[in-house]
Amino acid sequence: MFKVNESDFEYRFGDSGPKYLMRGPRMNFGVVVLQAGQDFRDHLHNVMEENFFILEGELEFRVADQVLTAKAGDLVHVEPGEAHYLRNASDAPAKAVFCLAPFQEKDKVDL
């Protein structure tokens, strides 16, 4: 067993982007914040499925040819091989938990 605190880690882009709280050995787990108007570019994972649980605000997801808006309390599941793009189209920050499994050291493909 171990414990970490979100404040011990940094977002990839300063005040936004992903923040990994755990990487492996069986899954990745973290939080992502997108400020109003920000997005996270298209990418996919070859082996890992990815789940997003929205904590605050709203995020627009484009997965394959589908677009949906997820709000606090919603879970979005993305299958391996499905390209996905996230965007905060609102005027307030959005925050979500993300989980990727099964763990792969290098599985992300930027599109």
Spatial distance between the Cα atoms of 60 and 80, rounded to a whole number of angstroms: 19
Q: Where are the domains of the chain?
A: 16-105
Q: Which residues of 81-95 are buried (b: 16+ CB within 10 A; e: fewer)?
A: eeebebbbebeeebb
Question: pTM, whole model, 2 decimals?
Answer: 0.94
Q: For the domain with range 16-105, which CATH number is right: 3.20.20.70, 2.60.120.10, 1.10.645.10, 1.20.1440.230?
A: 2.60.120.10
SS3 37: coil
Q: Which residues of 4-32 are buried (b: 16+ CB within 10 A; e: fewer)?
A: eeeeeeeeeeeebbbbbeeeeeeebbbbb
Q: What is the pLDDT of residues 43-102, one digit of tens each?
A: 999 999 999 999 999 999 999 889 999 999 999 999 999 999 999 999 999 999 999 999
